[in-house]
Amino acid sequence: MAKVKMKSNRSAKKRFKVTAKGKIKRWKSGGSHYNTKKEPKRKRRLRKATYVKENMIEHVRALLRV
C-alpha cells in the first residue's frame, strides 16, 4: 500500500511565498480597510511585503511543507 502524502496548509500557501534564495515572504496586515483614519505614510508601508522573522521560519516551513 502506498504512503499518503502530507498536504500543505492551503491558507499558508495563499499568505506566504518562498523566494529563490529560500526566504519566506509575507504581506503586512491591516492595510485593507478602515484606511481613512490611517496616515498616508503608514498606508504606503503596509503596501510593501516583508520577510518572516527568524523565530517563525520553522513554523511557517512546516505549514508549507518546504
What is the C-alpha separation between 20 and 35, in angstroms, rounded? 33
What is the C-alpha separation between 48 and 27, in angstroms, rounded? 7
Share of the chain above pLDDT 70, in %: 100
- pLDDT attached to residue 32: 93
- pLDDT attached to residue 60: 96
Domains of the chain with bracketed CATH: 10-64 (4.10.410.60)
> At residue 66, does pLDDT exceed 80?
no
